[in-house]
Structure 1
Amino acid sequence: METLEEAELCFPQLNTSCRKRPRSQTEAIVIYTLMPCFSLITVVLNLLVIVSISHFRQLHTPTNLLLLSLAVSDFLVGLFVVPFEMILAEPCWLLGDLACVLCSFLPFISVPATAGNMVLISIDRYVAVCDPLRYPTKLTQKTVKGLILLCWVYSVLYNFLFLFDNLRQPGGFNSCYGQCVITVNGTVDLVIRFIIPISAIIILYVRVFVVAVSQARSMRSHVTAVKLQRSLTVTVQRSELKAARTLGVVVAVFLMCYCPYYGISLSGYSLKMGSSVNIVMFILVILNSSLNPVIYAFFYPWFRKSVKLIVTLQILKPLSFQAKVL
């Protein structure tokens, strides 16, 4: 009997050792089969987005730079965050208290970085649709690059503050030895990293929708305008509205995938790494990162053309960066 009890402990030689958490067959399949598959899909799809926008000169636009930043954050989720989460999901934490906090750092970066990129994308669409004449001067490539850098710096610095108590007292929130518990202020995190950015996104997109409806009515009422001028105006406006609709789908998917996590965080939830709830929440994060490139494939012809050129290795040809993909 004593041997059985000792076998259930993470560290049988310690009286303060945690007991090994039993794992169901379903949970094991999710962790060791589904998560690696999602990881591979996320890495490959977002790498295609990164290569496409980086390589082809025609795609070097402010809007696409924002999509590139979003793809980088999604790529990091698949490449680094998934393996870390698989380690954190083990029944016993064997790497020490400081490693527990450090392994949690990178996963937490992806959330504010993704939310920040979504806000920037919403601002881009707002200016493009609501103030199209001044859009080229307001959101230049230099300005967008500065905003992207600011977004990533904010994400890293906020995480230091977010995990400060855990870094100051590694393992201070564990109830037994062999446990990895990260305690966060769920209310503060909910407000700063979710409510504020999501409110900004919703407000901006409501404004874009109102202006889009107004423009549609205006185009229908001015059928007697000069044909060439009307054709050019309609083409430009339709292009901007189509981009707004596509990015609106991206934002909607983001909301559906991240709302459950922040709903739980509202109560000041002590995040126990490896718990079933944490695994489900994390799968939603991975799903969001893998769905974004799929959305681009459905809505953006340039992405499909770029992928074809990449897969067929035509990007290795000289001057391939000048290929017409738009």
Structure 2
Amino acid sequence: MSANWSITRAPPTSHVAQPPPSFTRAAQFRVGATFVLFLFAACSNLALLVNVGRGRRLASHLRPLMLSLASADLMMTLLVMPLDAAWNVTVQWHGGNVLCKLLCFLKLFAMHASAFVVVVISLDRQHAILHPLDALNAHRRNRRMLLLAWSLSLLLASPQLFLFRVIKMEAGNFTQCATHGSFGRRWQETAYNMSLFTTLYVVPLLAMCCCYSRILLHIHLQHLRDKGESHLRRSGTDIIPKARLKTLKMSVVIVLSFVVCWTPYYLLGIWYWFRPDMLRVTPEYLHHALFVFANLNTCCDPVIYGFFTPSFRADLAACCRRRSLPPPSRGR
């Protein structure tokens, strides 16, 4: 099975003698780890959806943000993980041309949505800290930003419907869902992959860094201003209300988890796009492990939310207690 960093995928070349693709031990590790992550991410993100949907302690303008984040993570969980596991098991593609195009489109749509929603959360925190008196417009502003994020995800994923198709190799009767033949030159495929790398990682990362740099600068300047006026207001909790500061910390950790989980995956992907022969000099386990580590991001968001939200932890604990308690005995 070819490397999975590129959103495009090419089947093995027929003019070069290669052993036929197989379900290797490293691929088996990848499938097993993906299955574990799938179970945890599905349960935790569903619990997050339910908790945020009926929660009363979360501010109304923050609810659509967390619902969108959980929805994007669920899309990654329910689409990307099973597709990747099944593809590693079967090695070749057995789903037909329509399913090939549709699933590759949905995979990229989910990846863009997950990244863009984190950007929207960063923009919301920036506006909340820099313009605290404009809270009345936050709900409408967030809805517009989320609509833009999901629309852009849909638009940027749409080329997959035209690039992917089922390719049948005469040698060995091997069938694959790939972009083979969709690009006239290899540099065109590399340029397309780099454009996706830019929209999936570089642009979201720059937007997040810009937002939190402005927030830190604002806090620093406010602290210096207040320090000059009074010695009683020196801490960050004096400058920013505790509830807003707690939400800011949660969003910072969410951004950090995105960066930590996806950076190794994309760095190795860049190496592959420009030097495909790197597959011969790097262990197969490394390729599979980095993809699994990137998918860990879908599990991090509900854990982070639960850590910063006592009501979410309380609901989960109450649910576990209800399941563990024996049924009440009937009176005599």
For Structure 1 versus Structure 2, the TM-score category normalised by the shorter chain is 0.7 to 0.9
2:141 to 143, 149, 166: 143
In structure 2, what is the equivalent of residue 234 of structure 1? 238
- Structure 2, gaps ≥5 residues long: 1-17, 181-188, 324-332
Shift in Å, 1:308: 3.4
**1:305 equivalenced with 2:302 (yes/no):** no
Task: Give the superposition deviation at 1:277.
Answer: 6.8
Partners of 1:173 and 1:130 in 2: how far apart? Answer: 56
Cα contact 2:87–2:93 (8 A) shared by 1: yes
Residues matched between the structures, number: 287
Alignment correspondent of 1:13: none
SS where residue 269 of structure 1 aligns? helix
The 3-state SS of whatever aligns with 2:175 is coil
Percent of pairs with identical residues: 24
Pick closer, same or farther for the CA change 1:269–1:155 going to 2, 3 Å.
same
8 Å CA contact 2:76, 2:298 repeated in 1 = yes
- Map 1:161-176; keep pairs closer than 5 Å: 161=159, 163-167=160-164, 170-171=165-166
- The equivalent residue for 2:43 is 44
Q: Is the 8 A contact 2:30 2:292 kept in 1?
A: no
Of 51-60 and 303-312, deviating more is 303-312
1:208 is aligned to 215
2: CA distance between counterparts of 1:98 and 1:278? 28
Q: Aligned equivalents of 2:102 and 2:271: distance in 1?
A: 24
Change (3 A) 1:278 1:62: farther
The letter for the 1-side match of 2:43 is: V
Is 1:77–1:110's contact at 8 Å kept on the other side of the alignment?
yes
TM-score normalised according to structure 1 size: 0.75
**Cα pair 1:39 1:286 within 8 Å, conserved:** no
For 1:75 and 1:97, the matched residues in 2 are separated by 25
Secondary structure class of the residue paired with 1:58: coil
- Relative to 1, partners in 2 of residues 1:308 and 1:261: Cα closer, same or farther, differing over 3 Å? same
> The residue matched to 2:143 in structure 1 has which SS?
helix
Classify 1:154/1:309 alpha carbon distance in 2 versus 1 (closer, same or farther; 3 Å): farther
Q: Does 1:246 align with 2:245?
A: no
Contact 1:62–1:144 (8 Å) recurs in 2: yes
User: Aligned pair in 2 of structure 1 residues 312, 196: CA closer, same or farther (>3 Å)?
Assistant: same
Q: For residues 277 and 138 of structure 1, do their structure 2 counterparts lie closer, same or farther at Cα, with a shift above 3 Å needed?
A: farther
Q: Which residue of 2 aligns with 1:269?
A: 273
CA shift, 1:129, in A, is 1.0
C-alpha separation between the residues in 1 aligned to 2:19 and 2:55?
54
Q: Secondary structure at the match of 1:94?
A: coil
Q: CA deviation at 1:97?
A: 4.1
Match of 1:287 among 296, 299, 314: 296
Unaligned runs of 5+ in 1: 1-17, 315-326
Larger mean CA deviation between 253-262 and 22-31 belongs to 22-31
The whole-number CA distance in structure 2 between the counterparts of 1:53 and 1:40 is 20
Corresponding residue SS for 1:139: helix
Partner of 2:78: 79
Matches within 5 A, 1:90-109: 90-109=90-109
Q: How do residues 154-193 of structure 1 correspond to structure 2 at under 5 angstroms?
A: 154-161=152-159, 163-167=160-164, 170-171=165-166, 177-182=174-179, 185-193=192-200
Distance 1:186 1:93 in 2: 21
Shift of 1:35: 1.2
> What CA distance in whole angstroms lies between the structure 1 residues aligned with 2:176 and 2:268?
21
Partners in 2 of 1:247 and 1:109 — Cα distance? 22
Question: CA-atom RMSD, angstroms?
Answer: 3.5
- 1:115-159 Cα offsets, whole Å, 9 max, x none, are 11111111111011111112x13312x332232222212212210
Asked if structure 2 preserves the Cα contact closer than 8 Å seen for 1:70 and 1:117, the reply is: yes
TM-score by length of 2: 0.74
Of 88-97 and 275-284, more deviation after overlay is shown by 275-284
The verdict on how the C-alpha distance between 1:128 and 1:248 changes in structure 2, with shifts beyond 3 A counting, is same
Residue 22 of structure 2: SS of its match in structure 1? coil
Moved more, 209-218 or 109-118: 209-218
Residues 121 and 209 of structure 1: CA distance in aligned 2, closer, same or farther (over 3 Å): same
Distance in 1 separating the partners of 2:39 and 2:29: 16
Mean Cα displacement is larger for which, 176-185 or 39-48? 176-185
